[in-house]
Amino acid sequence: MDFDIKKWIKKTDLDLKKPFIVGVSGGADSMFLLDLMVKSNLNCIAAHFNHQIRSDALNDAHLVEQKAADYGIPFFLGDKNVKLVSQQEHLSLEEAARKCRYRFLFNLAEIKMAQAVVVAHHANDQVETVLMHFLRGTGLEGLRGMQPITLIPEFHTSIPIFRPLLSIWREEIEDYCEAHQINYAIDPTNVDTTYTRNKIRHDLIPQLENNYPGFKDRLVAMSEILRADSEIIQNTENQALTNVCIKEGKGFLQFSKHEFLQEPIGIQRRLIRRAIIQNQPTWRDISFDTVEKAIENIKKHTSGEFDLVNFNSLILHNRDFFIVNNKTDWIETIFPQLGLSSPVLIEGPGVYHFQSKWQIIVSLYSVRKFQVGTDNQNKAYFDAEKAGEFPWKLNNWHPGDRFRPFGMRSGKMKLSDLFINEKIIKPARKSWPVLFNQNNDLLWVVGIRADDRFRIQEFTKNIIEVKLERTN
């Protein structure tokens, strides 16, 4: 078979002259990959990671180090107690090993200004990966398997991982190593069927291949077909996201509920999955049930908060909904939040910042020179004499606080009831800013409703305008 790795690289946007980090475990596949790249005169840096799972693992490191020396290329060794990481991060041993290994490889790539991390995943690995995804439950992305070149944002947002061997079978690799007298290590953990991948490799796949000859070839062909189909669907998904996404930022995406529900169900599912993954790139296991329950809640409810997966939530708010990561400060990006900071003293007309994303602008006008604008919840107008002299203060509210909402001519309402009536999501209520005058009268629940007692009337002489704005 023609093992022209330069030809494979030319199919990508990678540069033949720029450096590559080559992940080399010491096994046949990675030793084969390294040999091909070195003999093609590519700029290679060999990198080996010791997971500290086996007592004899350093033998593999020494094998790779010696091979790199024979080739005259740089060698770097990383290591980590993967079992400890598995316990600390509550991951399976396989997933912890993957994370530690890739963190090392991509960190090295950044340090050495490499253009890509190259790994030796081959056709047999592709079959195993597709089957693992299928058995776990997956969509089109899972069934298309590993991609020849792709970004993994969890590890790096601009350096890709490159898998040039996905069309080559393990048998071909081992035959090459034997023909070229390339020594390689055999990892005894690869036959331990307590690991999911090994169980699929040694138990399930041989049975399927025995009963359905050619099964592996057809599965690899299917993954290639679905990869091409996925690119078409991805374009449609991107356009749909533009149509339905109102705003996105760190830890959240805000969607128009109406526009979202106009999309086909397949696109709806993809957008929900995409939002969760965008919020938390490290999380990959998003079940079908999780996505379906999210869509069902979007259809049925106009407000409320619903758990999705791993600190992600669906929040319904008026005509919109949010997919949020509750470990981020997404709330203050969307809603004004005062937080636990000291009250903001309002000493007169001017600009007053609170938190890092919001400000209020206070202006004083003579009624003869002022025209009240159209209805806008982010602006409030007060009779200057009724509201009283400065300083005022922007402060947190407390349970039991009451005021008379604009339009209510008698009586008072609890702020907690106002938040419910206005369908303000629960996570945003606690730190919602409230404006008080010098006498501690509540003037404005910022961005929602002003107090009717201080409204502009026909005998008003001077007007105070308070405007809420995002600073960014």
Q: What is the CATH number of domain 344-470?
A: 3.50.40.10
Q: What is the pLDDT along the chain (472 residues), one digit of tens a residue?
A: 678 899 999 999 999 999 999 999 999 999 999 999 999 999 999 999 999 998 899 999 999 999 999 999 999 999 999 999 999 988 888 889 999 999 999 999 999 999 999 999 999 999 999 999 898 878 888 899 999 999 998 899 999 999 999 999 999 999 999 999 999 998 887 888 888 888 999 999 999 999 999 999 999 999 999 999 999 999 999 999 999 999 888 899 999 999 999 999 999 999 999 999 998 887 767 888 999 999 999 999 988 889 998 889 999 987 899 999 988 888 888 889 987 667 899 999 999 998 878 999 999 988 766 665 555 789 999 999 999 999 999 999 988 899 999 988 888 999 999 998 888 888 889 899 999 999 999 999 999 999 999 999 888 999 999 999 988 7
Same fold, 5-213 and 238-330: no
Q: Are 188 and 142 in contact (CB under 8 A)?
A: no
Q: Are 362 and 348 in contact (CB under 8 A)?
A: yes
CATH of the structural domain 5-213, one choice from 3.30.70.270, 3.40.50.620, 3.40.190.10, 3.40.50.720: 3.40.50.620
Continuous segment of H or E residues that includes residue 449: strand 449-450
| CATH architecture classification, 238-330 | 2-Layer Sandwich (3.30)
Beta bridge partners of 314: 306, 323
Residue 196 tokens, joined: 């999911």
| pTM, full prediction | 0.75
Q: Which amino acid is at 137?
A: G
| In the chain, where the domains are located | 5-213, 238-330, 344-470
Q: 127: helix, coil or strand?
A: helix
Q: Are 152 and 102 in contact (CB under 8 A)?
A: yes
